[in-house]
Structures are given as C-alpha cells and as structure tokens.
Structure 1
Amino acid sequence: MTVTPIRLTAPALRAHRDELAALLHDVVADGASLGFLAGLGREEAAAWWESLLPAVEEGSLALWISRGPDGRLDGTVGWQRETKPNGRHRAELRKLMVHPSARGRGTARALLAEAEHQAAVAGVVLLFLDTETGSPAERVYRAAGWTEAGTIPDYATDPAGRLRPTTLYYKHPERAAARR
C-alpha cells in the first residue's frame, strides 16, 4: 500500500476537525503519550485541533494527514517552526500519530519522510522532537535516522498518569534530503 501524505490548510483543518479528533482520541485511548491523559473526550480533542488554527493560518505550523485504503484518516504529523529570531532555522516535529488499526503499513514512515522533506524545502535546518522513552515511536525515529540527544527523567505523565521519561531526538532534514 502506498501512503500519500496530504498537506492540511487551515480550511482543511476545519473541515477535518472531527476526523482528527477521532484519530487523537483513539491513539490516546490506545496508550500513546501525546500530552493527553486517558479519558480524553472527542470534544476536548476537537478543541485541541481548533487551537492549532492560528499557527496553521500564519504558517508556523505545517500539518499532514494520510488516509487508509478505505478512505479513513489514519495518520497525521506536523512541525512547528520557532518564531524567535535566533531560532527560525529550526522546527519541532509534533504529534506523529497513526491509528492503531493502521500500524505496520508504513504510514508513520511516509508521514515522517514527507514532513522532513518539506522542512528541508522550507529551509528548516534542524528538526527536533521528544517522545516517551521506550515507546514504539522510538523505533520509527531511529530507523529514519534521527539522532538521540538525551533522556529527561519524569518529564511527563503517560495517559494513565504515571511519570515517564522522554527522549529527545534531532535531525538535519537538508542533509537527509541530499541523500535521497
């Protein structure tokens, strides 16, 4: 199956709000640590997506989605560019998530590759992220050539409310794009 990431504009984000909320809800319910706790409601998830609209409209936040063979929204990723003058060369990779029923099909790899490629095109020279230490996401980032920068203990709670460490990663997307 070929995964084709689709860039979301602000109007598309509004139009797909409920689908995005369902994806976030299901991924958190499955135990992913994305900054939310167990019991996340769909309205709360929808409100979070709506809170991203100003950043998408002004261009500091870029978002992509993917759809499965049945047309259902099955994944998303984004990166948010730093707006401070001394950091405009970098962006934080945000919320790479794949629906539990769509895992193992290359969706995460395709979304990540598109985000990295588009970061390089936009002149981003450094991408960084944090992810729960020991999570399946770490395998995805390592396989995609991300470099571990370190681990911070007790960084955030997992969906069940337990303190967990996070591992920081970084990548230079233009160097990766040059190797393509």
Structure 2
Amino acid sequence: MTESITIRPLSPQEAKEHIGALSAVLIDCVEGGASVSFMSPLAQERADAFWRGVAEGVAAGERILLVAQDDTSGQIVGTVQIVLKQPENQPHRADIAKMLVHGQARKRGIGAALMRAAEDAAQTAGKTVLVLDTVTGGDAERLYERVGWTKSGVIPNYALWPKGGFCDTTVFYKQLSAS
C-alpha cells in the first residue's frame, strides 16, 4: 500500500524549507473537517506561522517532525510530530501530535505507516509511554485502535469542529518497551 511513500524525519532546516508543503497538508485537513486546533478557513499565513513554530521546536530538540513523502512526485502527503519535551516528572513520555494525511493520499496506509514510524522514533528517543487525543468516532480513532493503541476515555465537548460546534475527544495511550 505505501510502497511509493517514504516516511522520514525532517531536520530543522528541512522543516523551514517545507513550510509551504506542510501548510498545504494542514489546510487541506482543516478544510476537510479535521478538528486539529484550527478553525476554518485556515489562512496560509496562520498555517505557515504554526509550522515555523514546529521547525523551532525541532531545532530545539523538543520535537521530532516526520513526513510521508511521495517517492514519485516528492510531494509531502502526510505528517506527524513526536513532542519530546515534557514536565520533569515525565521524562519517559511523549505526545503524538498533528497526525495529518492529505485528503488525496488517504486509504493507502500512510496514517498507519506514520504511526509506526512515530512509535519507532519515540522509542529511539528513550520514550516508553505515548499519548494522543483525537475526535471521537472519526477515521483517526479507528486507525489508532487498528494500530494497537489503548483507548483511555472520552472527554465531551473538548474542542470545536473547524466550522463550529462542539466535538468529543478520545484519549489514547501506548506503552512501548524500553530500548
């Protein structure tokens, strides 16, 4: 399914160079109805500012930014972040954030490949507990269950849909073995 896709980390410099492509994925997801912290319509400038902040976090060693890149076109079609920086009493934990796959690239196993790569990167970074949250009842919730994450619970009215209205959020975790 993902034979023409490469999952790889971006260096801080590459993250800066690919802000436009990363923003295109984010904007597509928000306009497609994904509740990923942004309201619709998401302006290019706002998306670019978000990714500049992510690039700064990569440069500071606070997060890892992985992308799914089409081997033929070179286009970035998906992304996920591993947020390494945690409170001092949680050095073993990381958050998975902004797992996004462009609408035109879905149903090809890219989300599952991104999640496996995120787990591997987190484990390599010495993390043994991962957490994430997602919209209850959505495709991402089903994906996380399929790739072995454990549902912790549901928080009603946690966030807003991009076009307004409350949505519930499901919290997941995954235990990794110590490397």
Do they fold alike, i.e. is TM over 0.5? Answer: yes
1:66 to 68, 87, 94: 68
Conserved 8 A contact 1:120-1:173 = yes
- Letter of the aligned partner of 1:103 in structure 2? R
The aligned residue for residue 147 of structure 2 is: 144
The aligned residue for residue 56 of structure 1 is: 58
Conserved 8 A contact 1:4-1:110 = no
Q: Which moved more, 1:46-55 or 1:142-151?
A: 46-55
Q: CA deviation at 1:70?
A: 2.6
Query: Which aligned pairs between 1:11-26 and structure 2 lie closer than 5 A?
Result: 11-26=13-28
The aligned residue for residue 106 of structure 2 is: 103
CA distance in 2, matches of 1:121, 1:49: 24
CA distance in 1, matches of 2:133, 2:171: 4
CA distance in 2, matches of 1:37, 1:127: 26
Q: CA deviation at 1:30?
A: 0.7
Are positions 1:36 and 2:32 aligned together? no
CA distance in 1, matches of 2:51, 2:158: 23
CA distance in 2, matches of 1:39, 1:95: 18
Q: CA deviation at 1:174?
A: 2.5
Q: CA deviation at 1:55?
A: 1.6
Q: Name the count of aligned residue pairs.
A: 176
Q: CA deviation at 1:124?
A: 0.3
Conserved 8 A contact 1:76-1:97 = yes
Shift >4 Å, 4+ stretches: none
- Letter of the aligned partner of 2:132 in structure 1? L
- Which segments of 5 or more consecutive residues in structure 2 lack a partner in the other structure? none
TM-score by length of 1: 0.93
Alignment RMSD, CA only? 1.3
